[in-house]
């Protein structure tokens, strides 16, 4: 059974169609709309194994600039890990991983990925180490509701989101910058109904509101503002709890607890200590691939 590996999947209509077919089977969604709207960039590089015209396995390389304490770290995040059911347990993911390590291990500060509990024993074979992550929660302030939802079906609101993304998140200790490609993947699909603009604080907030809990994915605004005030301005009236899906610059006043969930475990590969080894951290959820 012969396979060939392609690293040029997205610009090729035939290969991209097969790649998307495997993504639909595996995750239930396609990357085609994201690609056709012009949001794909070569920061995202699928490594896809094919047999004939069928995509049978994939691991995508995502080149990310991670900003922490004013310093940029060049990293590689691996994602979109998938294998066609009939081709599992044949060493295909191992073959792709070895190629990725050969191509990128010496060209970045560190590599990382998020894995579910079914593969927790797989990545340590390649030198990846499991890292702890923490969650940050507090009581919600009194909701003011002084905001409007951005409509991701409108080009003007999509552009507004991209413009505010450039401001970055002044409240986050770890940020991925210069990657609105990944931002727009989330904000035109999974999170398209979670995006708010609060004129009082001139901030864009990405947050899920569900049964009295506000889960904040990211905030884009200028320096010198108060995070909890901003979140109160977008919270529903029944909001009781705020949780952050990123690491706050200052976690004083937040209830901090170790995440025990094995469905989204962080693994890191590096030749020494990285920015993901220090302190109580949570890698920004909106930058998972």
What is the band of 261 on the pLDDT scale with cuts at 50, 70, 90? confident
In this structure, the chain runs to a length of 289
What's the whole-number mean pLDDT along residues 64-80? Answer: 92
Distance CA 83, CA 22 (A): 8
Distance CA 23, CA 271 (A): 32
pLDDT greater than 90 at residue 249: yes
pLDDT greater than 70 at residue 101: yes
Instruction: Annotate the chain with DSSP letters as a single string.
Output: ---EEES--TT-HHHHHHHHHHHHHHHS--SHHHHHTT---TTEEEEEEEETTEEEEEEEEEEEEEEETTEEEEEEEEEEEEE-GGGTTSSHHHHHHHHHHHHHGGGSSEEEEEE-GGGTTTGGGGT-EEE--EEEEEE--------EE--TTSHHHHHHHHHHHTT--TTBSEEEES-HHHHHHHHTTTTTTSEEEETTTTEEEEEEEETTEEEEEEEE--SS--HHHHHHHHS-TT--EEEESS-BS--TTSEEEE---GGGEEEEE-SS--GGGSSS----GGG--
pLDDT at 190: 93
pLDDT greater than 70 at residue 105: yes
pLDDT greater than 80 at residue 9: yes
* Beta strands at 241-244 and 213-220: parallel, antiparallel or unpaired: parallel
Which is more confidently placed, 68 or 30? 30
pLDDT greater than 70 at residue 69: yes
pLDDT greater than 80 at residue 81: yes
pLDDT greater than 90 at residue 1: no
pLDDT greater than 80 at residue 144: no
pLDDT greater than 70 at residue 33: yes
- Number of Cβ within a 10 Å radius of residue 243: 18
Place of tokens 């727009």: 184
C-alpha torsion sign, points 289, 202, 216, 252 = positive
pLDDT at 171: 96
Distance CA 253, CA 55 (A): 49
- From first CA to last CA, the distance across the chain in angstroms is 30
pLDDT at 14: 97
pLDDT greater than 70 at residue 34: yes
* Best CA proximity match to 122, nearest among 149, 156, 88: 88
pLDDT greater than 70 at residue 219: yes
Share of the chain above pLDDT 90, in %: 87
Q: What is the mean pLDDT of the chain?
A: 94
Label residue 267 exposed, middle or buried (CB < 10 Å: 0-12, 13-18, 19+). buried
Place of tokens 């509701």: 145
Is the distance from CB of 150 to CB of 197 less than 8 angstroms?
Answer: yes
Share of the chain above pLDDT 70, in %: 100
pLDDT at 163: 97
What is the band of 91 on the pLDDT scale with cuts at 50, 70, 90? very high
pLDDT greater than 70 at residue 102: yes
What is the band of 209 on the pLDDT scale with cuts at 50, 70, 90? very high
Helix axis angle, 180-187 to 155-165, nearest 10°: 140
Task: State how far the alpha carbon of 217 is from the alpha carbons of 70, 209, 245, 266, in Å.
Answer: 21, 11, 5, 17
What's the whole-number mean pLDDT along residues 255-265? Answer: 90
């Amino acid at each position: 059974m012969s396979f060939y590996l392609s690293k040029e999947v997205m610009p090729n209509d035939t290969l991209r169609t097969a790649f998307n077919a495997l993504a639909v089977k595996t995750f239930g969604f396609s990357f085609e709309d994201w690609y056709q709207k012009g949001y794909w960039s070569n920061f995202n590089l699928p490594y896809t194994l094919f047999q004939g015209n069928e995509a049978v396995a994939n691991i995508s390389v995502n080149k990310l600039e991670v900003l922490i304490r004013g310093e940029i770290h060049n990293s590689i995040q691996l994602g979109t890990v998938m294998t066609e059911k009939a081709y599992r347990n044949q060493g295909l993911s191992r073959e792709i991983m070895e190629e990725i390590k050969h191509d990128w291990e010496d060209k970045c500060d560190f590599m990382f990925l998020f894995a579910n509990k079914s593969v927790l024993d797989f990545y340590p074979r390649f030198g990846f180490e499991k890292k702890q992550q923490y969650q940050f929660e507090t009581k919600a302030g009194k909701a003011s509701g002084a905001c409007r939802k951005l409509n991701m079906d409108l080009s003007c609101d999509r552009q507004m989101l991209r413009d505010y993304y450039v401001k970055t998140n002044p409240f986050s200790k770890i940020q991925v910058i210069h990657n609105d490609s990944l931002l727009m993947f989330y904000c035109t699909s999974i999170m398209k109904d979670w995006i708010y603009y609060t004129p009082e604080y001139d901030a864009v907030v990405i947050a899920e509101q569900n049964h009295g809990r506000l889960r904040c994915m990211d905030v884009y605004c200028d320096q010198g503002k108060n995070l909890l005030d901003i979140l109160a301005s977008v919270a529903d009236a029944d909001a009781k709890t705020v949780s952050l899906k990123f690491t706050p610059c200052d976690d004083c006043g937040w209830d901090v607890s170790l995440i025990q969930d094995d469905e989204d475990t962080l693994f890191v590969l590096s030749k020494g200590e990285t920015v993901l080894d220090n302190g109580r951290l949570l890698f920004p959820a909106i930058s998972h691939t």
